[in-house]
Amino acid sequence: MKMIGMIGGMSWESSAEYYRIINEMINDQLGGLHSAKCLLYSVDFTEIERYQSTGEWGRAADVLGEAASSLEKAGADFIILCTNTMHKVIDLISEHISIPVLHIADAAAVHIRSQGIKSVGLLGTRYTMEQDFYKERLRMNGIEVVVPDGKEREKINTIIFDELCVGRIEGESREYMKDIIESLQTKGAEGIVLGCTEIGLLIKEKDCNVPVFDTALIHAEEAVKKALQID
């Protein structure tokens, strides 16, 4: 079994889900008392969020690059970055290490294509929804992307940072997100990408009448496949 290096803390709420899912999947595959070989480097999200909000992405990349380097030195065979937004600087992070990084959007694209879906609605932080780093990665895989409008994006961003990142699951916010998902369907979305690792804490497959792609779950599954060398 390969050693998984996890960069987490963005937020720790979703990082805890990654840890649970990865260990459950390893046990499902191997049985008995098996669990994952993994290392978790959890950053202080306040520091990262401050760099996000001030546009100092390079400084955030330096922090995460140092985390990745520490994981490599500790024995990690590959890295997963347990957040969607910070994949904006994945190339800068990769400069700090010689081991591979498993990209969350590429993992999502494999699952989307497997269902024959060519257009998805993207939910995430405002950075993920508004900037091209994530949308272009999906488009490179032949998947068209639609996003909510400006006011909706701001509301979703507030739900993520003010509620989900601090463990608050509000029914009103779930209903709001369900309305957004229906709106995205009218814009041509055949499926919905939960492009923030916290959104899966709020929205589940049963809440929608189109396929939902929970990127935290998908990313964790791909990490397990790589750790066990499953094609």
| pLDDT tens digits for range 166-178 | 999 999 999 999 9
121 and 209 belong to one structural domain: yes
Centroid of chain to Cα 105: 8
Catalytic residues, by residue number, are 83, 196
Whole-number pLDDT of residue 220? 97
Kind of pairing, strands 78-81 and 38-42?
unpaired
Whole-number pLDDT of residue 207? 87
63 and 152 belong to one structural domain: no
94 and 128 belong to one structural domain: no
144 and 98 belong to one structural domain: no
Whole-number pLDDT of residue 199? 95
How confident is the model over 34-53, as pLDDT tens digits? 999 999 999 999 999 999 99
**Series of mean pLDDT values for 10-residue runs along the chain (231 residues):** 97 94 97 98 97 96 98 98 96 97 95 95 96 94 95 96 94 95 95 94 90 95 95 71
pTM listed for this prediction: 0.92
25 and 109 belong to one structural domain: no
Q: Count of domains in the chain?
A: 2
What's the domain range around 155? Answer: 104-214
127 and 222 belong to one structural domain: no
Whether the CA torsion 174, 131, 4, 42 is positive or negative: it is negative
CA distance 202 to 197: 10
